[in-house]
C-alpha cells in the first residue's frame, strides 16, 4: 500500500507527455485505486519481443524517455526501475513512463499547504529489476538521477541490438556482469550511438551523463 501511495504521489506530481498521467487517487470500500489516462498500444517489452528497433525509431523513443526522466528528475524524483516493461508505446507513437512504485522522492508535496513528505528506502536495500540496475543500485548504495541514466542506457542498448546489455543465469550473475563487464559495443552500428550508450553505462556515476537533458542534447546532435 505504501508503494501504491508513493506511485500516486510521485507520478501525480508530474505533468509531462511522456509520463503516465494520474488524475485521481482514492479509496472505495477500503480498496485503494488510481485513475490514470487510458493508453492504447503495447509495452516496449512486447515490441522488443519481435526484434530490435530501427536506428531512427530507437532514437525517437530514447529521446522521449529522456524527456520524461528530465521532468521527473527536475521534481527530485528518481524512478529506480526503468526497463522495457515500464515503458509503454501508444498507437500514435508516444512513449509513456509507467510505474513509479519504486521511485525515490526527496521532496514531493501535493499542495503548497501540505507538509513535504520524504520517501525512499534505507541504504543497503536493493530495489528494482536486476538486469537494468545501476552498479550503485545493485550494491545497495544511495542513488540519484544518474542511476536512472544507467538503466536508460541498458534500455537503449536493447532497443538498438535486440539483446540485453547485461545477461546472467541468476541475480548474482547479473550483478557481477553489471559491476565488472561492459556490453559488446560492436553490436551498435552507429558510432555516435555507441558512444552515448557507453557514456550512460559507465560504472561510476561521476563518469556518466550527469542529466537526462545532456542525453537529449547528444541524441539531437545525431539527428541533426
Active site residues: 81
Gap between the Cα atoms of 78 and 80, Å rounded: 6
* 78 φ, ψ (degrees, to nearest 5): -105, 125
In Å, what is the CA distance from 203 to each residue of 46, 180, 206? 28, 8, 9
18: CB partners within 8 A, 6+ apart: 64, 65, 67, 68, 71, 94, 95, 96, 97
C-alpha cell at 123: 541504504
Q: On the CB side of 210, how many CA atoms lie within 13 Å of its CA?
A: 1
- Closest residue by Cα to residue 96 from 29, 36, 157: 36
In Å, what is the CA distance from 77 to each residue of 148, 158, 212? 10, 24, 13
C-alpha cell at 9: 504521489
Amino acid at each position: 500500500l505504501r508503494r501504491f501511495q508513493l506511485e500516486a504521489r510521485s507520478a501525480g506530481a508530474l505533468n509531462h507527455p511522456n509520463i503516465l498521467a494520474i488524475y485521481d487517487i482514492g479509496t472505495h470500500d477500503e480498496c485503494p485505486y488510481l485513475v490514470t489516462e487510458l493508453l492504447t498500444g503495447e509495452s516496449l517489452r512486447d515490441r522488443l519481443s519481435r526484434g530490435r528497433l530501427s536506428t531512427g525509431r530507437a532514437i525517437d523513443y530514447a529521446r522521449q524517455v529522456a524527456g520524461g526522466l528530465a521532468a521527473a528528475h527536475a521534481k527530485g524524483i528518481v524512478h529506480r526501475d526503468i526497463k522495457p516493461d515500464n515503458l509503454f508505446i501508444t498507437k500514435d507513437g508516444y512513449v509513456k513512463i509507467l510505474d513509479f512504485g519504486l521511485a525515490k522522492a526527496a521532496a514531493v508535496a501535493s499542495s503548497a499547504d501540505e507538509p513535504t513528505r520524504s520517501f525512499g528506502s534505507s541504504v543497503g536495500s536493493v530495489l528494482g529489476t536486476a538486469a537494468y540496475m545501476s552498479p550503485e543500485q545493485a550494491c545497495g548504495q544511495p542513488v540519484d538521477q544518474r542511476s536512472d541514466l544507467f538503466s536508460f542506457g541498458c534500455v537503449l542498448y536493447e532497443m538498438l541490438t535486440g539483446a540485453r546489455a547485461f545477461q546472467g543465469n541468476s541475480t548474482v550473475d547479473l550483478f557481477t556482469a553489471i559491476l565488472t563487464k561492459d556490453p559488446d559495443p560492436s553490436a551498435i552500428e552507429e558510432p555516435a550511438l555507441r558512444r552515448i550508450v557507453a557514456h550512460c553505462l559507465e560504472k561510476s556515476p561521476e563518469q556518466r551523463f550527469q542529466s537526462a537533458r545532456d542525453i537529449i542534447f547528444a541524441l539531437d546532435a545525431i539527428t541533426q
